[in-house]
Structure 1
Amino acid sequence: MWQGGSTASVPAADSFDWFADMVSSALMPTAFSTGDATGFYAEGSMLDLETAQVSRFSYSPLRSRRTPALIRRGDPEQYQLGLVTKGSAWLAQHGRESELHVGDIVLWDTSRPSESGSGTDGQNVELFVLQIPKAHMLLPSQQADRLLAQRFPAGTGMGAILTQFLLALADNGPDCRPQDLGGLGNMAVELATSCLTQQLGATREVPAQVRAHALLRHINAFIEHNLADPDLTPQVIADRHHISLRSLYVLFQGQHESVAGSIRRRRLEHCRADLACPDLRQQPIQTIAARWGFTSATAFSRAFRAAYDTTPNDYRADVLRSRISTDHETCGSNRFHRRGDLSVVRA
């Protein structure tokens, strides 16, 4: 699952440029400088967790700058959390600067200028980077910004747990199934949020709605991954997430639909998409319904009509008929244009 490479696979003269390009592509556009470009060593790998990404880099001493011009060139709009596992480094951003050693964690914002360096002791550095899109960050930006470029040790508490999680990903990531990666991404974001919250000393500052939002995301991912299971019920969901059924219902009170309604809507949306797929037009409607957790043809037909004001059979026929009509119109339009082109040529 990890993807990457090393300078061992490129000519020595190109090794520094290779690393600069890789980091600029994997993390963000950045300007690099080093005292020994020809003897530069580096390797890097990335693991995509859907809601986050983990990157691991090992490299020779260097300096880097993220300028306003580079931000305009490309900004992934992320908070990035770095963990030093070998060597030393430093980071300056938002009016702060920190020296970093093995076991230290630091946070930076890709949308702000920054400057950093590594190998202050002349040794190579190894760094894990957890990339969290701002849209997925559970901590309010006002609180996250208070931690930019501040060093905090990861030897105890949530920092230690986050460190162990990242190291476990390095060892076991290749053995994870693709369908597990999204859940690991959610776990990474929540662990990072808890780690940052601990550093703020503001557990009470983080609203209960942040924790509720994290749980709700877990539950929504669980529902999406288990729609095909006809036994998926609110009680099963509550049991799997170690909460009461009442707590589950309360969690969904702020949503536009109930937990049962969410299950039904998602199943119907998948069924509707399959019914509109020309490649599946030979599959019986009940086969499609059963694939998405509907065990009763009558119940499926009733739910489909209530949601879309048409029967599954009529919907499929109308969509496929519309596709055929559109294809004919396109062909006719193409013939018209070709004739027009020919008439112009002949004239």
Structure 2
Amino acid sequence: MIETVIRTADVPAEDRFEYWRDNLRRMHAPMDLVSAHSADFRASQRILRFGPVSVLTAAYQPLVFRRTPKLIRQSDPEMYHLALVTRGRGGATWDDHEAEYRDYDLHCNNSSRPCSVWVDDEQDMIESVGVKVPKVLLPLPRTKADQVVGRLMSGRDGVGALFAGFVTRLAEDASTYQPADGPRLGAVLIDLMSAVFAHILDANDRLSPESHQRVLVMRVRAFIRQHLHDPKLTPAVIAAAHHISTSYLHRLFQLDGVTVMAWIRQQRLEHARRDLRDPALRAVPVNQIAARWGFTHHAAFTRAFRAAFGTYPTADRAEPPPVKDA
């Protein structure tokens, strides 16, 4: 994984807008930029590269991006960019239509298509997180995939929420991944973007069985995380919620060398340990924290905690938090 960070705060105020524009042109594609805030432009972007796939987080003041036919002829990286607006409002205009975006809307752009993208000038900043994937890697016919551009989709539910949650967590937790994780994470991002496109186009039959399976695993794990507090969460409940058999659910987890219940237990224990170490929850009894994460019997929780972490919950809570390097 390669990380690049661009901050206009790193250069003098009078150079910031040009610095931002030049970096976007160099790292993404030729474009024209206009902003009423160019005298002291505030913006930042973080790019995480997982092979040919990139995850981008950005925050910037209102402006207008333009990709004209002339600029496209100069250079076209042939990318699809699927972005989630996490704060703010904006929109985009193409030859035949336009769309407006608000918090937790997903929108897609195509580097080969002329467009203008704007940010509402009545706000201070807009924030977003997104994924860029080379067109050639998306397992959908180009003519079908192109139809996603300009189509609205929510990042709050369904496959849109799955994409939003995974990309947001990936951007937040990037420091925990190893270089060897890059190709696998890149493949997952391609599968998720493909699933979003297929959902918008109602073209799920065009995805490969492997892509379907990987997206299903992510759906299942997201469902489990949302229901860890429920002591009645069982493989049968999970399978029924996803319209698959219990035996198929077990096979999905066996591909990663773990059982369903072992994965659930590990997730519960990790969340309970995090709460035990939270100073704000110091006064909450251990058994209440255990119950919060689906453990109905204190003795069973204590045994599982010691087996996983080599210490008792009360002893772990008493340990000072690890000191981070300066």
TM range (shorter): 0.5 to 0.7
Q: Determine the structure 1 residue equivalent to 2:208.
A: 211
Decide whether the 8 Å contact of 2:55 with 2:171 is kept in 1. Answer: no
Letter in 1 for 2:119: S
Pairs within 5 Å for 1:297-308: none
Q: What's the CA shift string for 1:118-169, capped at 9, x where partnerless?
A: 1343321112221110110122222212221122111100100100111111
CA distance in 1, matches of 2:128, 2:28: 13
Q: Determine the structure 2 residue equivalent to 1:95.
A: 96
Decide whether the 8 Å contact of 1:97 with 1:150 is kept in 2. Answer: no
1:2 and 2:7 are equivalent in the alignment: no
Using the TM superposition, give the Cα deviation of residue 215 of structure 1 relative to its aligned residue in structure 2, in angstroms.
7.7
Decide whether the 8 Å contact of 1:107 with 1:150 is kept in 2. Answer: yes
TM-score when normalising by structure 2? 0.63
Decide whether the 8 Å contact of 2:89 with 2:120 is kept in 1. Answer: yes
1:176 and 2:177 are equivalent in the alignment: yes
Which structure has the bigger radius of gyration? Answer: 1
Decide whether the 8 Å contact of 1:44 with 1:58 is kept in 2. Answer: yes
Residue 37 of structure 2 aligns to a residue whose secondary structure is coil
CA distance in 1, matches of 2:121, 2:153: 18
Using the TM superposition, give the Cα deviation of residue 241 of structure 1 relative to its aligned residue in structure 2, in angstroms.
6.6
Using the TM superposition, give the Cα deviation of residue 201 of structure 1 relative to its aligned residue in structure 2, in angstroms.
2.8
Decide whether the 8 Å contact of 1:52 with 1:133 is kept in 2. Answer: yes
2:255 to 233, 240, 245: 240
Using the TM superposition, give the Cα deviation of residue 54 of structure 1 relative to its aligned residue in structure 2, in angstroms.
0.9
CA RMSD, Structure 1 to Structure 2 (Å):
2.5
Q: What's the CA shift string for 1:185-242, capped at 9, x where partnerless?
A: 1101101111121122333xx33xx323648999xxxxxxxxxxxxxxxxxxx96379
Decide whether the 8 Å contact of 2:188 with 2:214 is kept in 1. Answer: no
CA distance in 2, matches of 1:28, 1:216: 34
Pairs within 5 Å for 1:64-83: 64-83=65-84
Residue 135 of structure 1 aligns to a residue whose secondary structure is helix
Q: 1:136 to 1:213 in 2, by over 3 A?
A: farther
Letter in 2 for 1:212: P
Letter in 2 for 1:144: A
Q: Determine the structure 2 residue equivalent to 1:314.
A: none
Residue 70 of structure 2 aligns to a residue whose secondary structure is helix
CA distance in 2, matches of 1:151, 1:93: 14
Letter in 1 for 2:28: L
Q: Determine the structure 2 residue equivalent to 1:61.
A: 62
Letter in 1 for 2:209: A
Q: Determine the structure 2 residue equivalent to 1:251.
A: none
Pairs within 5 Å for 1:151-300: 151-203=152-204, 206-207=205-206, 210-212=207-209, 214=211, 240=255
Count matched residues: 221
Residue 40 of structure 2 aligns to a residue whose secondary structure is coil
Q: Determine the structure 2 residue equivalent to 1:221.
A: none
Residue 188 of structure 2 aligns to a residue whose secondary structure is helix
Letter in 2 for 1:48: R
Letter in 2 for 1:240: L
Decide whether the 8 Å contact of 1:2 with 1:174 is kept in 2. Answer: no
Q: 1:178 to 1:53 in 2, by over 3 A?
A: same
Q: Determine the structure 2 residue equivalent to 1:137.
A: 138
Letter in 2 for 1:30: M
1:16 and 2:13 are equivalent in the alignment: no
Letter in 1 for 2:208: R
Q: Determine the structure 2 residue equivalent to 1:123.
A: 124
Q: Determine the structure 2 residue equivalent to 1:283.
A: none
Q: Determine the structure 2 residue equivalent to 1:37.
A: 38
Residue 80 of structure 1 aligns to a residue whose secondary structure is strand
Decide whether the 8 Å contact of 2:21 with 2:33 is kept in 1. Answer: yes
Percentage identity across paired residues of the two chains: 27
Segment drifting more, 29-38 vs 18-27:
18-27
TM-score when normalising by structure 1? 0.59
Decide whether the 8 Å contact of 2:191 with 2:214 is kept in 1. Answer: no
Decide whether the 8 Å contact of 1:94 with 1:112 is kept in 2. Answer: no
Residue 122 of structure 1 aligns to a residue whose secondary structure is coil
Letter in 1 for 2:26: S
Using the TM superposition, give the Cα deviation of residue 112 of structure 1 relative to its aligned residue in structure 2, in angstroms.
1.1
Decide whether the 8 Å contact of 1:61 with 1:118 is kept in 2. Answer: yes
CA distance in 2, matches of 1:155, 1:239: 30
Residue 172 of structure 2 aligns to a residue whose secondary structure is helix
Decide whether the 8 Å contact of 1:60 with 1:119 is kept in 2. Answer: no
CA distance in 2, matches of 1:216, 1:26: 33
Q: Tell me, which stretches of 5 or more residues in structure 1 are unaligned?
A: 219-237, 243-347
Decide whether the 8 Å contact of 1:88 with 1:121 is kept in 2. Answer: no
CA distance in 2, matches of 1:197, 1:135: 16
Using the TM superposition, give the Cα deviation of residue 63 of structure 1 relative to its aligned residue in structure 2, in angstroms.
0.6
CA distance in 2, matches of 1:117, 1:161: 26
